[in-house]
Amino acid sequence: MAVFDRSLAVSAAQSILEKGGWCVVEACLDVPEQVWEARILIFDRLPEAVADAVAEEIDLDPGHDARLTGCDRRTLAPDPEMGARLCYLAS
């Protein structure tokens, strides 16, 4: 059974927010090919609130792995410098 690790989501959000980004929840559509799709952009500056939004998104589609990535607050463009942190593994 898959379990959401809230502490990983909080830690990932904190790292992204400290670098000045917004958090993006991505779902893995193809594990072997590592194809990720952005699902939601979270405009919140509290890591705990970001983790809540991640949990809600996972509840909507628990069949895919989820990760948090960052995007630039001004352009909303993905920023690879902020990394990608896995916060949920589907069963």
Note the pLDDT tens digit of each residue in 38-74: 999 999 999 999 999 999 999 999 999 999 999 999 9
Domain ranges of the chain: 6-88
Closest CA to 67 of 76, 77, 80, 20: 80
Q: Does 27 have pLDDT greater than 60? A: yes
Cβ-based neighbour number of residue 14 at 10 Å: 16
pTM higher than 0.75? yes
**What are the φ and ψ backbone dihedral angles of 42, each rounded to 5 degrees?**
-110, 115
CATH superfamily of 6-88: Ribulose bisphosphate carboxylase, small subunit (3.30.190.10)
Please choose, from the candidates 79, 31, 28, 23, the residue with its C-alpha nearest in 3D space to the C-alpha of residue 54.
Answer: 23
Predicted local distance difference test score (pLDDT) of residue 1: 54
Contact yes or no for 89/8 (Cβ under 8 A)? no
